[in-house]
Amino acid sequence: MKRLLLLFALALLPLAASAGAPATKKVSKTRITSVISEVRRQDGVEVVRLGRLGTSAIRGLVRVAAREDPDAREALAVLRGVRNLTVMEYDDCAPAVRERIARRLDAALDGSELLMEAKDEGTAMRIYGIVDERTDRVRDFVIHAPSEHALICIFGSIPMDVLGKLAAND
């Protein structure tokens, strides 16, 4: 009986150790898609969504172009892990509506892991995502530029080395 209790305690030890660790921040895909669904019918809001089928079709086109173009090969490396892509632009809305949408998006992204924030001459951009250091990938990449009235959501995973190469090229 003591042996059984000891084995049970040893089996629970890893769970107890991870229970004390802080929870990793996640990008709330549900909250973001909920906000997009709510505001997409507003005048001046444009939303483009590509699911698995759409991103797969784009990958096929880029794969054909990648045979001869090195830039297309880099794009293909990024697109391999992308499952869903959503782009929302709300620049043509009334100013009060734009502010309300920006506040709603900020609230939906609150608690997400901020990877980078850039400000340049009144233009602000925040990039959120999940860095998985175990696999060296970035998952669920969200770019919100409230001053440009734009949101880009790339759900899937992208290798860090590919993102580093793209950043070095720009």
Domain locations in the chain as residue ranges: 24-52+82-169
Looking at residue 168, what is its pLDDT?
65
User: Given the DSSP bridges, would you call strands 150-159 and 46-50 parallel, antiparallel or unpaired?
Assistant: unpaired
* Length reported for the chain: 170
The half-sphere exposure of 151 on its side-chain side, counting CA atoms within 13 A, is: 28
**CA–CA separation, 163 and 165 (whole Å):** 5
The pLDDT score that the predictor gives to residue 23 is 43
Query: pLDDT of the chain along its 170 residues, tens only?
Result: 334 333 333 333 333 333 333 445 666 788 999 999 999 998 999 999 988 898 888 888 888 888 888 888 878 877 888 889 999 999 999 999 999 999 999 999 988 888 888 888 878 889 888 888 888 888 888 999 998 999 999 898 888 887 777 666 65
pLDDT single digits (tens) 106-147 = 999 988 888 888 888 878 889 888 888 888 888 888 999 998
Angle between helices 29-39 and 95-109 (to 10 degrees): 160
- The arrangement of strands across the sheet holding 123-132 comes to 46-50, 82-89, 150-159, 137-145, 123-132, 114-120
Q: What is the pLDDT of residue 170?
A: 55
**Per-residue confidence (pLDDT) for residue 98, from 0 to 100:** 93
What does the alpha-carbon distance between residue 138 and residue 148 come to, in Å, rounded to a whole number? Answer: 24
Q: How far is CA 87 from the centre of its chain?
A: 11
CB 76 within 8 A of CB 59: yes
Q: Which residues pair with 155 in a beta bridge?
A: 84
Handedness of CA 6, 7, 12, 16 (dihedral sign): positive
In this structure, which amino acid lies at residue 1? M
